[in-house]
Structure 1
């Protein structure tokens, strides 16, 4: 029986990883093709940046609500339906004749993203061999990292050579292959977890510690996401890189993000809040350094790696905090964490547009991002002090 479970898990996880890779690439790729989209659809860079807000809004709304409403549905048919919607959304993005259509397509695609991730994690864990649940989840998370390291640069390369619509077609094709693999190789685990109602799942939002965890994730990530949203414009217009170098710089950023994710996870295991405060402080300083060095191409390339590493080093600790505070609804906790991150993305894209339109210019995004990150330090410190001031509940078992 164990060998059967193991073989199922070996087929399930790669299939879901491919889906995660395709879906997450659809989220990140806009950063590398933003100027091309703006130019082709005859809108400003700040208006094109709102496409990031559109995707974020979809995830913010769709994550908690759709995950709760579908809590009683069998998981395999559910993720197959969600994948089909993702394919349709990316095809609509590729064929969009005008900006409003592209905006709507991004929202629809994003609505299902968090719910897919949440259910994919539950399916993968349910098919894992005993004692390997955590490593199984890490493999799915690695699919997200690959989207940053490979997906976004490849999408940017396709956009530069074949137009900004090509990446969305490639993402749709990737998700279509993933759907075929899920249909054939992923088991139906409808009985793996007890069914719960939407009301029971959504009750998790009544807890103050959950809301504070969401606030930490949202505020602390907004500064970096502001810079990432306008990444292509910053490195070409401010630092002087050619448009073809954007894909390479995104690769550098992604490698830094992967390294930071691993290092940040280890640091957070040892001292969760101290690590988070220290890493956020280092990130704020790095953003100021990028502002100071943005006219130097070599220094900018180095700082792209450093900022990617620091930005993603804080994420493992934030994920752990959200999961711990929302332990009563584990599937919803995944969606809540994604929604908090997207709340930061929506705010970052909006604020970045206001900074540019307000006359401060693109370069000021680095300094404003640093200020927002400092605000994240403040929220994190408040959460830390609040936790330390609470009286531990007495143990119920020896």
Structure 2
């Protein structure tokens, strides 16, 4: 789930006034606790910023306004927080908080009033779980409470895979890797290594959580709106999954077909303002194919002139350098304020060995260490030098 940045005009920033006192302090929804953000004002233009925090409509918020405010507001929206009971507010990351106020922008962020998978995001098919079960000849969908202790070990064994081991040596494991690569965005640099990085996460998605959670409904189990009916799996050897896979219809078709802002809402591909995205080439938490699907929807709506997409040669989710995020922000501002549409990548042309090089930070690659959970740039070959 990507972090979202939205630029709003000064007409929409009445909330920047002083908070209004109330008879009773506002509270979170039952089961949740709001963790107040602790933010020290920054210095911008030689003067400290003004920081406002509080609770509004059962959600925590933070607002920061520079002394020399340019009259515009950045809305900073965080991504998936899991199913815990604490609601927290994030300040802009990737060095963008300082960049915003240095450039005269105010920013505001909310904790949201609930956790869970409660986002406006399209869902195209079930998790790779059903394909893995078909290849391993283990039928365990829908997953039960013993999925983690009985079904999952059998799936690993049937595929010839092992937890915490990147090796993919058996024909069935290689087929699963190939299917995952194709379904997540197609052949592209770093894809095989990215499968090894994410495989344990993908295969354990169905393991039930044990911690208490206030999250309910579709936000807790977004799989109820997913389906693999009609999906054509490839490759089809040594096992033909189109014959063996369990086809699953949406468990909640009303939620899937709703055009309302449900926890897992439809995306129409009709942006009204300029949109610039960054996406890790090897990300399988939010697969790169989401960029391709969105680009197609926007094109079908005749609004491709409002969309610019950039591929970054990383595998971790939202693994961007300050330079990559800062450049994207500056280009978005130049686009919205000056009409200069920035350059981007063709997200459907992924197969070339240098795909993702154009907007990836060479300094971040040079400084990267061996691949780890927090630094995956060395899973990719070096990009050719430019000059």
TM-score normalised by the shorter chain: which range applies?
under 0.3
Structure-1-length-normalised TM-score: 0.22
- Larger helix fraction of residues: 1
Larger of the two Rg values belongs to structure: 2
Give the structure, 1 or 2, with the largest relative contact order (CA under 8 Å, sep 6 or more).
1
